[in-house]
Structure 1
Amino acid sequence: MIGSVQRALRLLEAVGSHSGGAPAKQLAREAGLPLPTAYHLLRTLTHEGYLRRENGVFVLGDAAARLACGGIQQKRRSMILDSLAHFRDVVRAPVYFAVYREGEIEVVGVSDTPASPACEEWADFRVTGHAHAIGQCLLGQLDGRSRQDYYDRHPVEAITPYTVQDLRSLEYRIGSLERMQPVTERQEYSLGTVCAAIPIAVGDAPATVAISLPLHQESRLLSAIDRLRNEVGALLSTLAFSISI
């Protein structure tokens, strides 16, 4: 064990227990350290950005805040991946969680198994939203202006013989969807693969949970996505965490 590290951590914990900060003598007492040792460590921690000295007291600095934020983000991501793994085992298919954030499609997490692998991202998911169920589901949750902005940057074009052929056809398909209705696609993004996605409400950002299956299991697609929708409802608050990742 490295004693100086342990002592520095005790000081950080002591500072963190005081929202308004605390003076060096109090922190030394609470951390069980001699005052000269506490002064030396406090100066070092301040120099490195983990503490700030304000009006004679020490408070947590930006570096400590970044550490805390990183820990929270990692915990949230782990919660998401655990949820996706649960969904994967229930529906016996690869499961994807994606959001539309800052004008782009972002796949936050994927859970699959060696026996049932996820669809290979052979064409960037972000720019081929018109061709896969994830993208169509997210685009369907946008207003007309936001969708047009996406199309202007990522034009509709066929990437397989089954991809929707033009913007007009895509808009007709999106417009015909009922609210919260699953979106399905058959070999539009990847030959030999069928996909389905359901819209979910997690904060202000459009989001979706989706599954993919090999073409020969197409008969399972609708029952699997219905089962997924039931499971997602029970864990929706967990998925909401990913919006801030």
Structure 2
Amino acid sequence: MATAQSPVVPTLIGSVQRALRLLEAASSHVGGAPAKQLAREAGIPLPTAYHLLRTLSHEGYLRRENGVFVLGAAAERLGGGCAQQNQRRMIIDSLAHWRDIIGVPVYFALYREGEVELVSVADTPSSPAVEEWADFRETAHAHAIGQCLLSQLDEKSRQDHLDRYPVRAITPYTVRDNRALRQRLSSTERMQPVVERQEYALGTVCAAIPITAGSTAGTMAISLPLHQEERLLYAVDRLRSEVGALLSSLAFSISI
């Protein structure tokens, strides 16, 4: 005779559950809390709490200071990972929002550790981003993103970049040499958009706006087909106004 099967109950490791409750209790006290208080808040017998607290401290998830337990480096790294994921999600969602309301591809890039880093791009099949046919890191002189980032660097950092990635022609419209590039960058007014026409990709115009957080240079950029160039200034002005509402939280982008 067939009998109904009992639902599968997952195997739970009690010691792991108790350790997690201790971590949750410790995280609620910025200045730390003693073992007795953590055990009481976590609902764990004190002898068991002592054993788990010693283990968590040994593994770096807690740290004992002046008789109280505070979160350790391992726990902070876990929190940092979650924060970075949230920051990336915020960037992706923001770019998609701006893409939809402005109707153009939107890019976000940083200059980090001596390199141009394209962090994220939002586009659509009907309005695609510029294809990276030549490495963005090596062709900063030829596209609006790179020119915007280079314009924010000090002279030493800019020269270091150009020594590693010399100016070279990408299209017939690319800036021809270091001198011409320097003149262009020096004439760029601080925090003003950088516009580039067909210097990286034929048939494309781009504009980038500078964003600086601390010592890190950043930029938001847009691109359009050449035949839609008349939309460029309106689009970049709209992007600047939209980004302005988020500037207070743009530090999030620097640590990702």
Query: Which residue among 85, 88, 91 is the counterpart of 1:80?
Result: 91
Cα deviation for residue 209 of structure 1 reads 1.0
Equivalent residue letter for 1:196 = A
Amino acid at match of 1:59: V
Query: Hey, what does 1:242 align to over in structure 2?
Result: 253
Deviation for aligned residue 1:125: 1.5
Instruction: Provide Cα deviations, 1:60-117, integer angstroms capped at 9, x if missing partner.
Output: 2211010111122222222222222221112111111122233222223222223222
Query: Does the CA contact (< 8 Å) of 1:80 and 1:238 recur in 2?
Result: no
Q: Provide the residue aligned with 2:223 in structure 1.
A: 212
The amino acid of 1:136's aligned partner reads Q
- Following TM superposition, by how much is the alpha carbon of 1:55 offset from its aligned partner in structure 2, in angstroms? 5.3
TM-score by length of 1: 0.89
* Residues 5-154 of structure 1: pairs in structure 2 closer than 5 A: 5-54=16-65, 56-154=67-165
Which residue does the alignment assign to 1:179?
190
Q: 1:59 is paired with a residue of what secondary structure? A: strand
Q: What is the Cα deviation at residue 54 of structure 1?
A: 4.5
Give the AA of the match of 1:174.
Answer: L
Residue 39 of structure 1, CA deviation: 3.3
Q: 2:232 aligns with which of 212, 221, 225?
A: 221
**Aligned with 2:118: secondary structure?**
strand
Quote the Cα distance in structure 2 between the aligned partners of 1:114 and 1:38: 56
Q: Over aligned residue pairs, what C-alpha RMSD do you find?
A: 2.1
Distance apart, 1:22 and its partner CA: 3.2
The number of aligned residues is: 245
Q: 2:172 aligns with which of 161, 179, 185?
A: 161
Structure 2: distance between partners of 1:147 and 1:162: 22
Deviations 1:160-208 (A, max 9, x none): 2322111112122222323333211122212332211112343332221
Greater Cα offset, 143-152 or 13-22:
13-22
d(CA) in 1 for partners of 2:238, 2:66: 58
Alignment-mate amino acid for residue 63 of structure 1:
A
Which stretch has the larger CA shift, 9-18 or 125-134?
Answer: 9-18
Structure 1, unaligned runs of 5 or more: none
C-alpha displacement at 1:5, in angstroms? 3.3
| Higher mean C-alpha deviation, range 34-43 or range 231-240 | 34-43
Which structure is richer in relative contact order (CA contacts within 8 A, separation 6 or more)? 1
Alpha-carbon distance in 2 for matches of 1:31, 1:92: 51
| 1:233 aligned partner | 244
Q: Name which one, 1 or 2, has greater alpha-carbon Rg.
A: 2
Greater CA drift, 64-73 or 215-224: 215-224
